């Protein structure tokens, strides 16, 4: 998100959490025991006999650029932070790693070739993870380049080249990646030609989503950059329509989001909406932010937060 002044705290807007249990311990250094958030998804009883769990990593809003810090955003520090994340994911042997958008940033004023160089550099660090990798498009990913340029330089494992929204499966878990970088008239964000507060998932993508969920063989998690669980500047404009599709499927356990750097959490009609804190915020290793998500065979989910992630989570009591 390009305008920090317009960012706002969305926690108070979230609906009250129901039918779940959440446990939280304070964050500690990355090599020690991290904070844990446990999410119950007992409503999806039809899949309780899954044979194995799935563990995946999430990180968001790296905003890497070889640029001086601006406010609380330390662009150059993102490479070391992301390197720590990749090393942790290798040590944890997670099944896959997803970054939730705003992967790179740009100079002021932007220079297209420099922006592409920043993307190449941060992708090289991301690819230190020794497993499948996936990218979600954020608004800053197309602030001075196109979606085509971005997607040509990143690896979405096993996904058709050039896809900005897509799905994949991992050990019985169906994973959906959405692209909300469209204006209300359906025009795709391109080379900075967009209003970041006007984020939409267009009709053709909604139709694809309905069809994809209809044939999904089991439980589903969704990844998106802009938020789906409310209204306002940081949210997808047609979020309610998207939520209705997710709810109607009866298959979606959780939505993992970025964009709102402070992070947040809500629960709406049986679906968890988890917004991860931004990696770019703060200069040091202690300011890092990423998490491991475990979807257990009984469909409970445990989010293990590292560095700032664990410290910022809210304790929810049923």
pLDDT in tens, 67-125: 999 999 999 999 999 999 999 999 999 999 999 999 999 999 999 999 999 999 999 99
Q: Which of 20, 12, 26 is nearest to 305 (CA)?
A: 26
Q: What is the pLDDT of residue 309?
A: 85
Q: ∠ at Cα 276 (272, 277), nearest 5°?
A: 150
pTM equals 0.86
Q: Which residues contact 232 (CB under 8 A, 6 or more apart)?
A: 8, 10, 13
- Give the separation between CA 20 and CA 41, rounded to whole angstroms: 7
- Give the separation between CA 19 and CA 40, rounded to whole angstroms: 8
Greater confidence, 217 or 312?
217
pLDDT above 50: residue 220: yes
CATH 3.60.21.10 correct for 54-312: yes
Spell out where 30-172 has E strands.
35-39, 54-59, 96-99, 133-135, 166-170
DSSP structural state of residue 133: E
Cβ atoms < 10 Å from Cβ of 220: 24
Q: What is the pLDDT of residue 52?
A: 72
- Give the separation between CA 252 and CA 147, rounded to whole angstroms: 27
Spell out where 123-270 has E strands.
133-135, 166-170, 173-177, 220-223, 252-257, 264-268
């Amino acid at each position: 998100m390009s305008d920090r002044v317009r960012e706002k705290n969305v926690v108070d807007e979230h609906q009250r959490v129901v039918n779940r249990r959440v446990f939280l311990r304070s964050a500690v250094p990355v090599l020690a025991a991290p904070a844990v958030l446990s999410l119950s998804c007992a409503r999806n009883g039809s899949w309780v006999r899954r044979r194995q769990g799935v563990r995946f990593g999430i990180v968001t809003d790296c905003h890497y650029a070889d640029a001086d810090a601006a406010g609380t955003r330390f662009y150059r520090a993102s490479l070391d932070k992301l390197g720590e994340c990749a090393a942790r994911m290798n040590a944890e042997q997670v099944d896959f790693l997803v970054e939730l958008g705003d992967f790179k940033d740009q100079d002021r004023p932007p220079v297209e070739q420099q922006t592409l160089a920043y993307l190449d550099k941060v992708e090289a660090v991301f690819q230190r993870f020794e497993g499948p990798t996936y990218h979600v498009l954020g608004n800053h990913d197309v602030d001075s380049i196109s979606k085509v340029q971005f997607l040509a330089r990143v690896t979405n494992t096993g996904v058709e080249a050039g896809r900005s929204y897509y799905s994949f499966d991992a050990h019985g878990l169906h994973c959906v990646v959405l692209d909300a970088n469209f204006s209300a008239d359906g025009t795709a964000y391109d080379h900075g030609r967009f209003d970041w507060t006007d984020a939409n998932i267009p009709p053709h993508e909604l139709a694809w989503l309905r069809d994809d969920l209809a044939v999904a063989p089991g439980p589903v998690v969704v990844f998106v950059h802009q938020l789906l669980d409310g209204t306002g500047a940081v949210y997808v404009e047609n979020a309610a329509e998207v939520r209705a599709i997710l709810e109607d499927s009866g298959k979606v356990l959780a939505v993992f989001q970025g964009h709102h750097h402070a992070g947040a959490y809500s629960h709406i009609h049986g679906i968890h909406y988890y917004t991860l804190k931004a990696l770019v915020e703060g200069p040091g290793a202690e300011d890092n932010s990423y998490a491991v998500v475990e979807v257990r065979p009984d469909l409970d989910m445990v989010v293990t937060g590292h560095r700032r992630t664990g410290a910022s989570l809210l304790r929810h009591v049923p």
